[in-house]
Amino acid sequence: SQTIHQWPATLVQPVGSPLSLECTVEGTSNPNLYWYRQAAGRGLQLLFYSVGIGQISSEVPQNLSASRPQDRQFILSSKKLLLSDSGFYLCACKTGPTYNEQFFGPGTRLTVL
């Protein structure tokens, strides 16, 4: 079974500072990987997905970017954080026989002040 590690678990950053969130996956190879964001009290929003190394698709235009330097590593970045970037960031991978079955990591709580 898959295991997803995300770090850091919590992060407080000032507006305008850079961001780097990391996600690593164990127990699977060549996974589909996803970055979601959840604002307080709201549903999840898909930000990026990747079907392989170096392959990134963006779902929402924003000041965030994603990279996949290794098969089981997925990184979310920003050069300059905005207040609206605050939220709960979740990394997920496909699990099971269908793409609708995804396994989520523990998440990173980001607060931008």
User: Which residues of the shown chain bind another protein in the complex (CB under 8 A)?
Assistant: 32, 34, 36, 42-46, 49, 51, 57, 59, 88, 90, 92, 94-107, 109
Q: What is the rounded distance in angstroms from the CA atom of residue 98 to the CA atom of residue 1?
A: 15
- Going by C-alpha positions, the residue among 8, 18, 16 that lies closest to residue 113 is 16
- In the bound state with another protein, the residue whose beta carbon lies nearer, of 86 and 102, is 102
CB of 44 to another protein, least distance (A): 4
Amino acid at 6: Q
SS3 category, 23: strand
CB of 97 to another protein, least distance (A): 8
